[in-house]
Structure 1
Amino acid sequence: MKQVILGKTGIEVQRLGFGGIPVQRVSEEQAVDAVLYALEKGMDFIDTSRVYTTSETRIGKALSQTSRKPAIATKSFCRAADDIRKDVEISLRELQRDVIDIYQCHSISTPEEYRKITSSGGAYSGLVKAREEGLIRHIGITSHSLDVLERALDDDLFETIMVCFSFLEPAAKEKVIPKALAKNVGILVMKPLSGGVIESSGPALKWAFGYPGTLVLAGVESRELIDQNWNTFQGSWELTETDRETIDATFREYDKKFCRRCDYCLPCPAGITIQYVLGARTFIKRMGAGALKVPMFADMWDKAEKCEECGQCVTRCPYGLPIPEIIKANVKWKKSLNL
C-alpha cells in the first residue's frame, strides 16, 4: 500500500510525492537542500512546472548532485504543438535530464481549452511527437475541472491525470478516480491540503492516502515539513478520533468560504475569473507575492474591482458561497498589500 503503479505508465513509486511549487519561495540553497533531503528520506517522485518560476532550475541543480533517479513530472501551459515542444526542450535543460518521465498539459480548465490541445496542431500532438523522439516517456493532463478530466478519460489519450483531492474537495472519488482506475490511468493527487487552506497536514494526508491507487503530491520547501509529511506517510493511515475531529472542525470553518474551482458560477457578466479571485490568498501563500505582478493577474484584479454584485454567480454555486462578498474582501486585501 505504500507504493503505487501509475497505471499504464508502469512507473512504480512511493505514494507520497514531492510537490515543486514551494521551492520557488525560498533561497536556492534551501530549495536544493529540500529536494536532496526528500530523496534521502525515500521520496522518488517529483512534480514541477514551467510556470513555477525557478522550480525546475532548482530541482535540476539538486538532481545534478545526487545519484538517485526519481521519476520526474513537469508540465506546460502552452496550448499549441510548437510552443509546448519549446517548453519540453527548456524543461530538459533546466531539469538536467535526457528524458522526462511524464510531461503534462497544465491546467486545462474548460471544454474549449481541451478541444484546443487535442485538435490538430494542439499541445497533445506536440507531446506525442516529443514522446516518439524519446524526449518524454508519458503524457498527462492536469485540471481543476472534473468534467474536463472525465472527458480526457473517455478519450483515452492521456496516461496520467492530476486532480484536486482533499477532504474539502472530495468529489473526485465519485467518478473521476474510479474511472481512472478502471482505465488503468495513473492518478496524481494535487492540493491534498487544498492549496494551504488545511493547516493540519497529518489528518489531511492520511485521509488522502486512504484512497488506494493514487500518488499524493505535497508541496514542501524545508526539512521540517518533509519530516512531518514523511512520518505521516510511514505511520498508520487510520484516522484517529482526534483526526476526525480536526477534519470536521476544518470542514465546518471553510465549507461556506472555500472555492472548489468547479466554475459552475461562470460566466460572469463582468468577465471576472471567479475561482482565481476567490482563491487568491492561498495562491499567493503558495506562489509568493510576486505572482500578483503577472499581467494576467493584474487584469483579473481590474475586473474584480468592477464586480456589480449582481448575484448571478451565487445562484449557480452548488456550495452556496457568498461570492460577491468574498470578491470584495479579497480586493480589499489585495490593495492592503501595496504591491
Structure 2
Amino acid sequence: MEKQKLILPKIQLGNTGHHVSRLALGGFHQVEISSEIVENVVNRFQDYGGNYIETARSYGDGASEKKLGKVLEGRRDQFVLCSKSGADNADDIRRDIDATLTNLKTDHIEFYYFHGVPDKEKLNKILAPKGALEGMLKAKDEGLIGGIGLSSHYLPMYIEGMTKLPIDLILIWCNYLEDLYLPEIQEDIFPFAREKNIGITAMKPLGDGFLYRSPTQAMRYAMSNNPDVLVCGMNSVQHVDEAVEAICQGPMTSAEGKTLLAEAPELGKYVCRQCGNCSPSLKELFRLEGYVDRQMIDYLEHNPADYALRLRLSPWFSLKEKAISIFKEKKWDEQKLKDEAGTVSCPYDIDVPRKTRLTLAKLNGGNADII
C-alpha cells in the first residue's frame, strides 16, 4: 500500500455523537519522546485522518498533556480529546480537570475518564457525596467536559462501573494474549457496553509492547474484536505508518486469527491457547496463571531485553490475589492435576506437565523459581 494515500476509517463513537477515527493516538508513550517528535507523530496521524487523542494527568505528571497541548495549539478543534484522572473526590478531580485544560491549552475537553479504578472501595468514594462523580458532573454542566469515561486494570470494575456511573465510554484491554485467559472481556463486558450504547475504546493492542514482534497481526486481531476505536501509544512516525496500514487492511478473519494463535512467537511453547485438549480443570488452572503474571514468566530461555520486558509487564494487572482466592476455592487435588497433565498431547507443543508444576507453585504458595 502507498502509505500517504491511506485514510483511516471513521465510526460513530457509541452514543456520544462524535465521528472519530478507528485508530486513536495514545498519550502514555508521548512522555518518552521530545516535543519535536510528538509534533511529527501528531502531524502524520492527522495526515491519515486521525482525529482522536487520549492522554492522562498521570502520564509524566502532566508532561504528555503539555506536549500535546503545545503541538495542538491552533488546531484544537480538529481533534476529539480525552484525558483521565485517578482522583476520587470532587475537589481533587476539579483541580485535575483545570490542570488538564491548562496543559492542553483548551477551554473544554470532549471526554474525561475515571482512570484506573482499582476496586469497589475507590468506586464507592467516587460515588459518595462530594465524590469525584459530583465534581465530574459539575464540570460537565459547566461545559468543561463533554462526556465521562471509565478505565481500570481490574476487570470486575467494568460492569459494576457501567452499572453505577453515567458512563459514555470505556477504555479496556484488547489483544490476543489477554483474550486467552480473560474471555469475559469479549463474552461479557463488550456485550454489556453495547447493550447500554456505551462506546468501546480498546487499549494495549500490543500487550504493552509484549507483542512487538507481530505489530500488524496484533492490531488486526484487536480490530477483529470490533471495538469502536483502537488506542495505540505510537511514539514514532514509523509506528503511525505501521498502525494505520494495519487498520486499513481490516480486521483478521477467523481463520487468520487461528493461524496467529498457532504461530505467534510471543505465545510460543508456553502460553495456553485454551484449545480444549486439556481437562476443564487444567484449562481453568492455566487461565488463573494468566491472572498471576499473564503467563509471561515461563522460566524458558530468553534474550536479556525480552526477559526484562517480561519482568516489567507481568504484574501489570491486579489479578494475582483474585487468582489465588479462586484457586483455594477450587480445592483441586494437585496430584490429580499433575497426573492429568502427563496424559495431554498439546497441539502447540507445550510441555503440559512442566507448565502444571510451575502454575501450581505460583498459586499454592510454592516457589516457582526453584522448579
TM-score (norm 2): 0.70
Q: Indicate the SS of the match to 2:156.
A: helix
2:366 and 2:236 map into 1 onto residues whose CA distance is: 35
Question: Mapping of 1:1-339 within 5 angstroms?
Answer: 2-53=9-60, 54-66=63-75, 69-155=78-164, 157-170=166-179, 171=183, 172-199=185-212, 200-239=214-253, 244-248=258-262, 249=264, 250-252=266-268, 255=271, 281-282=312-313, 315=327, 320=359, 323=362
Q: Deviation per CA, 1:164-188: give whole Å up to 9, x if none.
A: 1211122311111001011001111
User: Where does structure 2 lack aligned partners over 5 or more consecutive residues?
Assistant: 1-7, 273-285, 294-308, 317-322, 331-355
Mean alpha-carbon deviation: is it higher for 67-76 or for 227-236? 67-76
Do 1:209 and 1:216's aligned partners in 2 also have CA atoms closer than 8 Å? Answer: yes
Q: Distance in 2 between matches of 1:51 and 1:126?
A: 18
Give 1:207 shift. Answer: 1.1
**Is the alpha carbon distance of 1:173 and 1:34 closer, same or farther for their aligned partners in structure 2, counting shifts above 3 Å?**
same
1:211, distance to aligned residue in structure 2 (A) = 2.6
Please give the alpha-carbon distance, in whole angstroms, between the structure 1 residues aligned to 2:290 and 2:112. 25
Give the gaps of 5 or more residues in structure 1. 264-277, 287-310, 330-339
Alignment CA distance shift 1:187-1:224 (3 Å): same
Which stretch of the first structure deviates more once superposed, 66-75 or 244-253?
244-253
State the 1:36 CA deviation: 2.1
Which stretch of structure 1 is more off in the superposition, 147-156 or 126-135?
A: 147-156
Over the residues paired in the alignment, what is the CA RMSD in angstroms? 3.4
Q: What is the rounded CA distance, in whole Å, between the counterparts of 2:55 and 2:76 in structure 1?
A: 20
Structure 2 CA distance for partners of 1:178 and 1:35, relative to 1, 3 Å: same
The change in CA–CA distance for 1:76 and 1:261 in structure 2 (over 3 A counts) is farther
Q: CA deviation at 1:98?
A: 1.4
**Residue 322 to residue 89, structure 1, CA distance change in 2 (3 Å):** farther
Does structure 2 retain, via aligned residues, the 8 Å contact 1:5–1:213? no
Distance change >3 Å, CA 212–CA 3, structure 1 → 2: farther
Contact in 2 for aligned 1:19/1:220 (Cα 8 Å) = yes
Change (3 A) 1:205 1:312: closer
Q: Which amino acid aligns with 2:167?
A: F
State the percentage of identical aligned residues. Answer: 28
Letter of the structure 2 residue corresponding to residue 114 of structure 1: L
Alpha-carbon distance between aligned partners in 2 of 1:4 and 1:327, rounded to the nearest angstrom = 46
The structural deviation recorded for 1:122 is 1.2
Q: Does the Cα contact within 8 Å between 2:222 and 2:251 map onto a contact in 1?
A: no
Task: Tell which structure's C-alpha radius of gyration is larger.
Answer: 2
Q: Structure 1 residue 190: deviation in Å? A: 1.1
Give the secondary structure class of the aligned counterpart of 1:251: coil
What's the secondary structure of 1:177's corresponding residue?
A: helix
Alpha carbons of structure 1 residues 201 and 247: separation in structure 2 relative to 1, 3 Å? farther
Q: Which amino acid aligns with 1:29?
A: E
The change in CA–CA distance for 1:132 and 1:327 in structure 2 (over 3 A counts) is: farther
Amino acid at match of 2:271: D
Question: 2 CA distance for matches of 1:83 and 1:261?
Answer: 32
1:255 is displaced (CA, Å) by 2.7
Equivalent AA in structure 1 for residue 129 of structure 2: S
1:47 deviates by 0.4
Kindly state the Cα deviation for residue 317 of structure 1 after the two structures are TM-superposed. Answer: 11
Amino acid in structure 1 at the alignment position of 2:15: K
Rounded to whole Å, the distance in 1 between the matches of 2:80 and 2:369 is: 42
CA contact 1:105–1:141 (8 Å) conserved in 2: yes
Q: Give the distance between the partners of 1:196 and 1:321, measured in 2 at CA.
A: 27
Aligned 8 A contact 1:146 1:262 in 2: no
Q: Aligned pair in 2 of structure 1 residues 52, 316: CA closer, same or farther (>3 Å)?
A: farther
CA distance in 1, matches of 2:77, 2:314: 31
